[in-house]
Amino acid sequence: MAALSNVTRNSKVLIQVIGKNRTFSCSAVQHGSGKRVGFIGLGNMGGPMALNLLNKGNSVTVYDVYPEAMSKLQNAGAAIGHSPAEVAEKSDTIITMLPNSTHVQEAYAGENGVFQTAKPGSLLIDSSTIDPSVSKEMASLAEKKAMTFIDAPVSGGVMAAKAGTLTFMVGGPEKEFANAKAVLEHVGKNIVYCGSVGSGQAAKICNNMLLAINMVGTAEAMNLGVRLGLDPKLLSNIINTSSGRSWSSEIYNPVPGVLPNVPASNNYEGGFGTALMMKDLGLAQSSATRSNSAIPLGSLAHQLYRLMSVRGYAKKDFSSIYQFLQKSENSN
């Protein structure tokens, strides 16, 4: 049985045990993918995702423009790259988790970008939330170099990134989905194939537009109720057992003190920043313009989040719309 101790964590192995007059074999599915994974963008989401990849036995090389983010991962056992190109040199699969479209274009197609050094056959997975047209542009550049680029934005937030329970919405060639899933399963729970490249982003943009609309509505209703003299916990219990219920009212209530462990009860720190929500609503707006779709409430939510961003809420969690409404009224 000594062979068992030599089993690497990174591979699917056939173990053959030869005992007295009998031979049997069994297969052991190990955690790691056996591939070298590069990770670019180690912020609120990317940091814990890269850590989970390491903890699942992958060999991980990381890069972030912010050196402190890299040293945390280095201490946990990751190798450091000094540019996206250096990460690509040392990896077969590369995951990016960057703020917006411009950062993604720079990380892949920039001077020291992934396309400079990645090998033909590399799998490039972008999990940032960006414009679907940029995902398509990157996929076409990748194809010219015999690489595959897929979009795989996530839902679930920082808590799910830490717990490894993210949902991935994947767009790209269907034949590559199994390969992407094998890696993404180390950081997520639901890996959903949405269609050709860009369709993961399309699904993500629609979800986040609805999330913003629901959050604005929840904040408005809660604020009105409090001003009418209702206890916010009581009102939230009623809403959550009535037809006004949503994820924003039940799981992520925007009123401080209604729920523990949500940004609203922590001065709107952590969570999903107002600036990122504003960006996602901007993506919904341009996608709606391109597809000639009417999104009146999405547009209104976009303007509200823009206003909040310039009024000092950019880094606060997006549920701070409740505080923004309250303060707007109090200043009258």
Q: Of residues 13, 15, 158, 288, which one binds ligand NAD by CB under 6 A?
A: 158
- Check residue 46 for interaction with ligand NAD (CB under 6 A): yes
Residue 15 or residue 69: which is nearer to ligand NAD going by CB?
A: 69
The two beta strands, 123-126 and 148-151, are: parallel
- Check residue 43 for interaction with ligand NAD (CB under 6 A): yes
Residue 138 or residue 235: which is nearer to ligand NAD going by CB?
A: 138
Q: How far is the CB of 326 from ligand NAD (least distance, A)?
A: 23
- The answer to whether residues 242 and 261 touch, using CB atoms and an 8 Å cutoff, is no
Q: Which residue has the tokens 């000092």?
A: 312
Q: How far is the CB of 313 from ligand NAD (least distance, A)?
A: 15
- Check residue 200 for interaction with ligand NAD (CB under 6 A): no
Query: DSSP state, 14?
Result: E
How many residues touch ligand NAD under the rule CB under 6 A: the total is 25
Residue 43 or residue 57: which is nearer to ligand NAD going by CB?
A: 43
- Check residue 33 for interaction with ligand NAD (CB under 6 A): no
Residue 139 or residue 166: which is nearer to ligand NAD going by CB?
A: 166
Q: How far is the CB of 1 from ligand NAD (least distance, A)?
A: 44
> Site map for ligand NAD, 122-141, x if CB under 6 A?
------xx------------
Q: Of residues 32, 38, 41, 263, which one binds ligand NAD by CB under 6 A?
A: 41
Q: Which of 56, 181, 204, 279 is catalytic?
A: 204
Q: Is 222 helix (H, G, I), strand (E, B) or coil?
A: helix
CA distances from 90 to 78, 93, 155, 319 (A): 12, 9, 28, 40
Percentages of the chain per state (helix, strand, coil), in multiples of 5: 50, 15, 35
**Does residue 316 have an active-site annotation?**
no
Taking CB positions, which residue lies at the least distance from ligand NAD? 43
Q: How far is the CB of 199 from ligand NAD (least distance, A)?
A: 17
- Check residue 270 for interaction with ligand NAD (CB under 6 A): no
Q: How far is the CB of 64 from ligand NAD (least distance, A)?
A: 4
Residue 122 or residue 274: which is nearer to ligand NAD going by CB?
A: 274
What does the block give as tokens for 177? 């989905």
The two beta strands, 188-195 and 154-155, are: unpaired
Residue 145 region by backbone torsions, left for phi larger than 0, else alpha for psi between -120 and 50, else beta = alpha
Q: How far is C-alpha 34 from the geometric centre of its chain's CA atoms?
A: 23
Contact positions with ligand NAD (CB under 6 A) in 62-121: 63-66, 69, 97-99, 103, 106-107
Residue 192 or residue 221: which is nearer to ligand NAD going by CB?
A: 192
CA distances from 242 to 170, 227, 260 (A): 34, 20, 21
Q: Is 302 helix (H, G, I), strand (E, B) or coil?
A: helix
- The answer to whether residues 197 and 169 touch, using CB atoms and an 8 Å cutoff, is no
- The answer to whether residues 284 and 209 touch, using CB atoms and an 8 Å cutoff, is yes
Contact positions with ligand NAD (CB under 6 A) in 211-230: none
- The answer to whether residues 180 and 155 touch, using CB atoms and an 8 Å cutoff, is no
Q: Which residue has the tokens 């547009």?
A: 299
Which residues lie near ligand NAD (CB under 6 A)?
A: 40-46, 63-66, 69, 97-99, 103, 106-107, 128-129, 154, 157-158, 272, 276
Q: List, by residue number, the catalytic residues.
A: 204
